[in-house]
């Protein structure tokens, strides 16, 4: 009996080992012995997921800078005379050169004091520009049509306009541009207007651009001297298409010199 049981047990052991194909030391019930633990320890460690590199974050610090918004206010030099549209004047041409978004306003024949239809620059500022969201830069160009007005009166009107703009748009940069002329010999009172505007700009700490002192236009169309025959129309006063493009290059150079090539409105 005992011998039969022994033989049956031995046969069962052999069958178990054969079916599982395990080493003799491994248990039949599948429990892990020391050899199994060693095999798992020697196997390659499972790979860890490697986080992918994040691309550059897109935010305000990485966004492309927006174009500066620049408003112009002026007379026929700025908005155009007969047959010349605002989009072809020096103001719009300067915007294209500098990559600005521009709004060009004003009226032919007007000035700081000189009115057309009862409106001078201050009234035109209120009706055309003052209600708009604040720009980065306001360029006021005038004085040509004020040449018969006493210079102190012109300066006082210009002060009122610039103070109004500062009050309306505290963070906006301001530039005052003196009168333009169709030749290099403006009348004495026009030079007085220019001087009064230049002094005002100094008092108000506003950058001043002086086309007369910088001799943007030289000579005279009638005498065929200087650049006037090339850039001034037959009326002897207003720039032609090439003249507006030329004036734009001079203004752009001055704006860069003033550090306002890419003006941004200051926090109010």
- Per DSSP, the residues of 210-250 read -TTTTTSS-SBTTTTBTTHHHHB-TTSSSB-HHHHHHHHHH
What is the reported pLDDT for 61? 59
pLDDT on residue 44: 42
3-state secondary structure of 104: strand
Domain boundaries, the chain: 69-258
pLDDT score, position 62: 60
pLDDT confidence of residue 82: 87
SS3 72: strand
In this structure, of 7-11, 162-166, 194-198, the range with the lowest mean pLDDT score is 7-11
Q: Is the pLDDT of residue 176 over 50?
A: yes
Q: pTM here? A: 0.77
CA distances from 97 to 102, 173, 201, 246, 252 (A): 11, 19, 25, 11, 7
Give the model's pLDDT for residue 109. Answer: 97
Widest CA span of the chain, in angstroms?
144
The pLDDT tens digits of the residues spanning 179-189 come to 999 999 999 99
Q: Per residue in 32-62, pLDDT tens? A: 333 333 333 333 444 444 444 444 344 455 6
pLDDT at position 60: 52
pLDDT band, very low/low/confident/very high, at 83 (cuts 50, 70, 90): confident
Residue 15 and residue 192: Cα distance in Å, rounded? 122
Q: Which fold has domain 69-258?
A: Rossmann fold (3.40.50)
Note whether 72 and 107 are within 8 A (CB). Answer: no
């Amino acid at each position: 009996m005992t011998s039969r049981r022994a033989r049956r047990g031995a046969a069962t052991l052999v069958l178990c080992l054969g079916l599982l194909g395990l080493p003799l030391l491994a248990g039949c019930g599948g429990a892990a012995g020391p050899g199994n633990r060693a095999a798992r320890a020697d196997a390659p460690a499972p790979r860890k997921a490697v986080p992918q590199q994040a691309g550059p974050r897109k935010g305000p610090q990485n966004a492309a800078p927006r174009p500066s918004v620049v408003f112009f206010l002026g007379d026929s030099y700025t908005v155009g005379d007969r047959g010349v549209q605002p989009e072809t004047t020096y103001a719009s041409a300067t915007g294209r050169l500098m990559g600005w978004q521009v709004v060009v306003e004003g009226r032919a024949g007007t000035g700081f004091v000189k009115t057309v239809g009862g409106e001078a620059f201050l009234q035109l500022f209120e009706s055309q520009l003052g209600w708009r969201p604040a720009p980065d830069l306001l360029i006021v160009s005038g004085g040509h049509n004020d040449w018969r007005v006493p210079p102190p009166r012109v300066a006082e009107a210009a002060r009122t306009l610039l103070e109004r703009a500062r009050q309306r748009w505290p963070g906006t940069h301001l530039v005052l541009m003196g009168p333009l002329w169709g030749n290099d010999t403006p009348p004495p009172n026009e030079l007085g207007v220019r001087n009064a505007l230049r002094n005002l700009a100094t008092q108000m700490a506003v950058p001043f651009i002086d086309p007369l002192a910088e001799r943007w236009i030289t000579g005279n169309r009638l005498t065929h001297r200087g650049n006037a025959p090339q850039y001034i129309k037959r009326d002897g006063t207003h720039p032609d298409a090439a003249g507006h493009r030329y004036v734009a290059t001079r203004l752009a150079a001055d704006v860069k010199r003033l550090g306002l090539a890419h003006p941004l409105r200051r926090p109010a």
